[in-house]
Amino acid sequence: MVVQAFYLAQTTVSVDRKVARNPLLHIASNVRRNIKIKNAKDNMKTFLTIILTSFLGLTAFSTGQIPDKIIYKGKTYKLHCNPLESYFDKNPDKRPKSEIKSTALWRGYVATFKIKNKQLFLKDIKVMVSGGNFCKKWKSVIREVFPNQKEIKIDWFTGLLVLPYGKLKNYVHMGYGSTYEKYILIELDKGNFIKEKKFDYNQYEEFKEKQFQAFKKTDEYNKIKKELQKETDSDEFIDTFLKDFVINYTTKILTDE
């Protein structure tokens, strides 16, 4: 993966979490000052990696992250996306505070979701707290974040949920970069189930290629690419990177092949 290679470069990158959730141009003007790297070519690649992941609503994690969870058809899966983040972006005072900071959990919490009656609901939110004798334990804070609400439908989320499962194919010490034997992809519109697709690893990689080719025909692709061309004239580099993240910034399954 292109993304893996860039993050394995010997770089020193510092990205403020607030900056990482701001619009692309604001990120571009701030993050550039936080990159320290000798090679100019790698500097540009690292810079574009940061602004791209930021623009797509991802944090530029340099550590593998503890994922959220989702209960789907009676089974619990890892969730390689974070549906609560867009809510906390708009309601920063609601973001739960964790006593323990971990590089493996920059967002500060682990949420558990459940699809019930073809709708996405929040089941719990937990944060790490001290359990004494240098131990850690998990504490539920869902009633602090959403008081007086029995059922919390995630009706603000439109996009694709990625549920990896099976054997670990390749471990990547960055974000959700690790790959797995099998995948379930679920399309949601305002928290409502639209469709699902199941893949093995090779099928998932093939799907991402087809999804990217379909995305290239959209206005959103042209908009993102136009912004990135201000930073590099390498269309090949931009397309390779965007293809790697296609699931994160497309909100629908664009191909049924």
Sequential DSSP letters for 90-106: H-GGGSPPPSS--TT-T
User: What's the one-letter identity of residue 202?
Assistant: N
Residue range 104-131, pLDDT digits in tens = 888 999 999 999 999 999 999 999 888 7
Tokens 């609601």 found at: 94
Most confident listed range (2-16, 24-38, 75-89): 75-89
Tokens 């034997």 found at: 181
Q: For residue 231, what are its two tokens?
A: 């930073």
Query: pLDDT band at 257, cuts 50/70/90?
Result: low
Collapsed DSSP state (helix, strand, coil) of residue 167: strand
Beta-carbon-side half-sphere exposure of residue 16 (alpha carbons within 13 Å): 12
Distance CA 92, CA 85 (A): 10
Residue range 63-95, pLDDT digits in tens = 778 899 999 999 999 999 999 999 999 999 999
Residue range 183-240, pLDDT digits in tens = 999 999 999 999 999 999 999 999 999 999 999 999 999 998 888 888 778 888 889 8
Query: pLDDT band at 50, cuts 50/70/90?
Result: low
Tokens 């989702």 found at: 70
Closest to 101 (Cα-Cα) out of 163, 195, 17: 17
139: Cα separation from own chain's centroid: 23
